[in-house]
Amino acid sequence: MKSGIYLLLIMLSITSCNQYKLVSMSAIQIPVDKRADAIQDKKMVALLKPYADSSAKVANTVIGYSDQTMRVQSPEGLLSDFFADAVLSYVKQYYPADSVTIAVTNVGGLRNPIFKGPITIGKIYELMPFENSLMVLYLKGSAVQQMADSVAKYGGAVAGIRFGINSGGKAINILVKGVPLQDNQIYAIAANDYIAKGNDHFDALLQAVYVKTYPVSLRRLIIKYIQQETKQGRTIHQSLDGRIYEDK
């Protein structure tokens, strides 16, 4: 099936009398691509051009370079690790008082790879088309265990935590900063507002004993992280470190 954007034009025929009555209805699809150029309104195009040009200029702005193509993979992938590491690094830098030790996110929100070569703002919008904001949740270790079990079963991106996946699909040997997970200890976790509501199998996050919300989108966070790396003269590079592994 071919994909594309279409404008659905519905034409109604009604009788003109004291009471209106629908007598027929028909519809056609108009593909919104170059084939639609012939029917575009030139005045409207001229009106929108300055805004389109301005948006294109911003979207094409190069903010960094990746020395490899990064994709989401299971149980651990370069793009997943990069994203979680960037979130954890950002929170530690700008909100150190929160003592965040773990970052977690769903990988379904990462819609495109980051390809080897220049990274533009537009590419980050393609990677993250949603307006997800940053949250910090404080969870008991028992809830962190459940969160890790969900990541083990359904997938996810993590930083600051390491665990294996046993034959039953459960998270085992969980370490936080190299220390075994403690059921009654409180851990500060950086996440996005979507999974903080329990979406995408992250029900464990609903057990947070305290929650803080920050007015910063994860997209802006990633852009700023890449810009900082570039300013320090570093290209974007990620290595797999076995933070999520299959226990054999």
pLDDT one digit per residue (tens) for the chain, 248 residues: 455 556 566 666 666 556 677 777 787 777 777 777 777 788 888 888 888 878 888 889 999 999 999 999 999 999 999 999 999 999 999 999 999 999 999 998 899 999 999 999 999 999 999 889 999 999 999 999 999 999 999 999 999 999 999 999 999 999 999 999 999 999 999 999 999 999 999 999 999 999 999 989 999 999 999 999 999 999 999 999 999 999 87
Check residue 70 and report its DSSP letter. Answer: B
Specify the pTM.
0.81
Q: Which residue is associated with the tokens 């209106």?
A: 20
CA distance 80 to 228: 19
Question: CB-based contacts of 96: which residues, under 8 Å, 6+ apart?
Answer: none
pLDDT at residue 53 in the model: 79
pLDDT at residue 45 in the model: 82
Whether cis (ω within 30° of 0) applies to the bond prior to 129 is no
Q: Which residue is associated with the tokens 């007015």?
A: 215
Q: Is 17 left (phi over 0), alpha (psi -120 to 50) or beta?
A: beta
Pairing of strands 244-246, 117-120: unpaired
In the chain, the domains with their CATH numbers are 62-246 (3.90.780.10)
